[in-house]
Amino acid sequence: MKTIWFTGISGAGKTTLAKQYRSAYNPYAVLVDGDEVRKIMNPTLGYENNDRFRNVETASRMCKLINEDGHIVLATLSSPLEEQRKRAFNIIGRKNIFLVYVSCGIETAISRDPKGLYAKYYKNEITNMAGLDIPYETPDDADLVLNTEFFDIQTCIKTLHDSLLKRRK
């Protein structure tokens, strides 16, 4: 496993989990956050389906490049469609990805709204919010499911760490 890919709706806790995991267990891991990739590498992209695919593809290529340099990547992207995650698997290699589905109810995610995306959605500034006007396709092939609505961050990162240790054996 070279890339830990966190998927889930906006506000589920993907980036928070990745940062806390890195801080607690793997300070040399590289964080590839989908929103940062969009802002820095693809600043003209919106949230249309094709734009999401391009962002996932760009992030996946970054992960592969960083992996080839010998680093573990913590990738945090909503990647709401199965087809988007398959694209990442094709680029990085499924055997190189540990897929973590970060589960959280939409009401809780909206109340968190750490990046202000739901606020923008409700002001009609953006569309295509996974879980609202486009579906979030729950992955059937997740290596781990972490529910941040019912479990605190420390429990979730410990569960992730334990799962990764079991996977390495």
> Which residue in 161, 121, 162 sits closest to 17, CA to CA?
161
CA distance 7 to 160: 14
User: Any catalytic annotation for residue 79?
Assistant: yes
If you write DSSP's letter for every residue of 39-53 in order, what string do you get? HHH-TT--SSHHHHH
Counted residue by residue, the chain has a size of 169
Which residue of the set 10, 60, 78, 79 is catalytic?
79
Backbone angles phi, psi at 154, to 5 degrees: -60, -40
CA distance 69 to 48: 32
CB 60 within 8 A of CB 88: yes
Q: Which residues are catalytic?
A: 79
